[in-house]
Amino acid sequence: MCTRVVYSGKNGMVATGRSMDWKTEMHSNLWVFPKGMERNGETGANSLKWTSKYGSVVTSAFEIASTDGMNEKGLVANLLWLPETEYPVRDQSKPGLAITAWVQYMLDNFATVDEAVAFIDGNTFQVVSDLMPDGSRLATLHLSISDATGDCAIFEYTGGKLTVYHSKEYKVMTNSPTYNKQLALNEYWKSIGGLSFLPGTNRPSDRFARASFYINALPPTDDVRIAVASVFSVIRNTSVPYGISTPEFPEISTTQWRTVSDSKNLLYFFESSLTPNTFWVNLRETDLSEGAPVLKLSIANGETYHGNATKEFQPAQPFRFMGVKG
């Protein structure tokens, strides 16, 4: 489920692209959340509580989770599937954060990757997961963040502990296996050389190798159109054709949509596999001040937009993050 890449060009041009792969329609919509919103980690009695410091634009899933987005400081967060995830036993002494709100917590609270990693290292709260909405399996997810400097971090729960991979070199993330093993596998493909041969299947490790070669081969530029088009071309190259899924491997599924987040210019680009147009949201043209309305752009019913769709958003009641029993 999904591929994520980070591109660093000239003069501070940084763009993060991702594909969302899932076997069924996700009923996604786009949302703009202002700063000053009161939030709840939705884990029962001892839930993490916070007030958003920054406004953001996100793409939802099933109207129960923020899966992808960017805040007004250019911090980007992306939620992807990781079958090897093993969460710790719930520690009731720590405030809990439902995994459905993990992306939103990052966007609400941090301006840079450094800031986020330093805070998370304090181990002051606990991310808590539960079954997927259909009850079929545990939501086993890992999180990537990137910022306007091109810095990156990846958060994975393995063996009941949180591991953080933090480096500007960690530009690519897919799914299985865990990130340390992905890096090791990619070293092999580097030795082969991408101009000679690249693995072509839709398996996560093969997508990682292709994405890693192409994102590092892109010529540096500060031209927004070229940079965004380049990142989209890499993400399309690692997408899974529509209608393809592998039941025993949920991380190999149809690409439902793709996004590119321009952290320099605060432009959030969106492309659905079912509509022909790419459109974008300009955070600099939105009211993110405290008390401003929550805004929604509906795409779940096949609505089609093109170009700058910022003015197409409409006031709406925010969705509620799906909770986890405390």
What's residue 120's pLDDT?
A: 95
| pLDDT per residue as tens digits for the range 113-172 | 999 999 999 999 999 998 777 666 788 999 999 999 999 999 999 999 999 999 999 999
Residues forming a β-bridge with 69: 58, 77
Distance CA(29)–CA(322), nearest Å, equals: 16
CB 4 within 8 A of CB 178: no
Distance CA(235)–CA(218), nearest Å, equals: 13
What's residue 1's pLDDT?
A: 67
CB 53 within 8 A of CB 109: yes
What's residue 326's pLDDT?
A: 57
The Cβ of residue 55 has, within 10 Å, a number of other Cβ atoms equal to 23
The Cβ of residue 154 has, within 10 Å, a number of other Cβ atoms equal to 24
Distance CA(41)–CA(325), nearest Å, equals: 11
Catalytic residues: 2
What's residue 312's pLDDT?
A: 98
What's residue 214's pLDDT?
A: 94
What's residue 251's pLDDT?
A: 56
Residues forming a β-bridge with 61: 65
Residues of the chain with pLDDT below 70 are: 1, 134-136, 194, 247-251, 326
Distance of CA 99 to the CA centre of its chain: 13
**Helix (H) / strand (E) containing 113:** helix 113-120
